[in-house]
């Protein structure tokens, strides 16, 4: 397999654009991972193996419309997991599902090191996530990483997720790139979740966990010092 196929750049490459990027946003990671490995699939696999839960039932719960309401901050965590318990078969524990879902997100230390290096070159660094609020807090308590970011864009603060144009607008607003979107680069792992950011004129690189060298080369090819 061609390793470079895991990274796709949607960036301006004219000489006039080199070194123009001044703000870099990092997704937390959902499927192929950026800052964190995919915890959702890992959680499903663990619940199946260790507790005999039906993976399809757990996956459906984690991707339900109600779960997206939770991400948007339209319902609180307690209400979501109370609702979830009512949907689950007898013997299933919604709190166990919640705890496992949080715990199975593993930080990519190589990406964190890259983030630190970028900050050393005076790029403004932003986190961009539509993760569940309690998971964000859990990961912060576990890894203590949020202080590396100059700003955060979280779905629950904007009542929007990555498939909503309003969330992409929130990213550009937070980055102070609304009138100069080409100064912003987003590193994400999902093609379908960066479309609004691209349409607004920002740059995007898609990344897959384990291909750090390819990512670094892609960054250097567009003039980013790292």
**For residue 12, what pLDDT is reported?**
55
**For residue 11, what pLDDT is reported?**
60
Render pLDDT for 94-115 as a digit per residue (tens, 0 to 9): 999 999 999 999 999 999 999 9
* Statement to judge: residues 135 and 211 lie in one domain: yes
Q: What is the pTM of this model?
A: 0.88
Q: Which of 11-20, 48-57, 96-105, 158-167 has the lowest average pLDDT? A: 11-20
Render pLDDT for 162-196 as a digit per residue (tens, 0 to 9): 999 999 999 999 999 999 999 999 999 888 889 99
The answer as to whether 96 is a domain residue is: yes
* Statement to judge: residues 201 and 111 lie in one domain: yes
Q: Which of 103, 131, 150 is at the close of a domain?
A: 103
* Statement to judge: residues 175 and 96 lie in one domain: no
Closest CA to 152 of 27, 30, 20: 27
Render pLDDT for 30-47 as a digit per residue (tens, 0 to 9): 655 688 887 889 999 999
**For residue 16, what pLDDT is reported?**
44
Cα separation values, 198 from 142, 158, 165, 208, 212, Å: 32, 19, 11, 19, 22
The confidence band for 18, taking pLDDT boundaries of 50, 70 and 90, is: low
The confidence band for 5, taking pLDDT boundaries of 50, 70 and 90, is: very low
The residue segments making up the domain with residue 49 are: 39-103
The confidence band for 56, taking pLDDT boundaries of 50, 70 and 90, is: very high
List the CATH number of the domain containing 174: 3.40.50.1000
**For residue 72, what pLDDT is reported?**
94
Helix ranges (DSSP H) in the chain? 39-51, 55-62, 65-72, 77-87, 94-103, 109-120, 133-143, 155-158, 165-175, 195-199, 212-221
Alpha carbon 31 to its chain's center:
9
Residues 6+ apart with CB under 8 A from 204: 9, 10, 11, 185, 186, 187, 188, 194, 197, 198
The answer as to whether 87 is a domain residue is: yes
């Amino acid at each position: 397999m061609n390793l470079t196929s895991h990274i796709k750049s949607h960036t301006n490459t004219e000489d006039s654009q080199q070194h123009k990027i001044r703000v870099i946003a990092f997704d937390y990671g959902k499927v192929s991972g950026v800052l964190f490995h995919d915890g959702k699939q890992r959680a499903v696999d663990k619940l199946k193996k260790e507790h005999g839960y039906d993976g399809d039932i757990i996956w459906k719960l984690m991707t339900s419309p109600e779960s997206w309401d939770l991400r948007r901050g339209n319902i609180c965590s307690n209400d979501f997991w109370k609702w979830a318990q009512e949907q689950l078969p007898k013997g299933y524990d919604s709190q166990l599902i919640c705890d496992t879902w949080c715990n199975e997100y593993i930080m990519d230390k190589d990406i964190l090191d890259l983030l630190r290096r970028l900050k050393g070159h005076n790029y403004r660094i932003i986190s961009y996530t539509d993760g569940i609020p309690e998971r964000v807090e859990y990961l912060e308590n576990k890894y203590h990483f949020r202080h590396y970011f100059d700003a955060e864009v979280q779905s629950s603060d904007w009542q929007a997720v990555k498939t909503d144009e309003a969330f992409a607008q929130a990213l550009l607003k937070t980055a102070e790139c609304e009138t100069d979107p080409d100064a912003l680069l987003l590193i994400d792992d999902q093609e379908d979740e960066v479309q609004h950011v691209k349409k607004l004129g920002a740059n995007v690189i898609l990344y897959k966990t384990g291909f750090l060298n390819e990512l670094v080369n892609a960054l250097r090819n567009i003039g980013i010092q790292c």
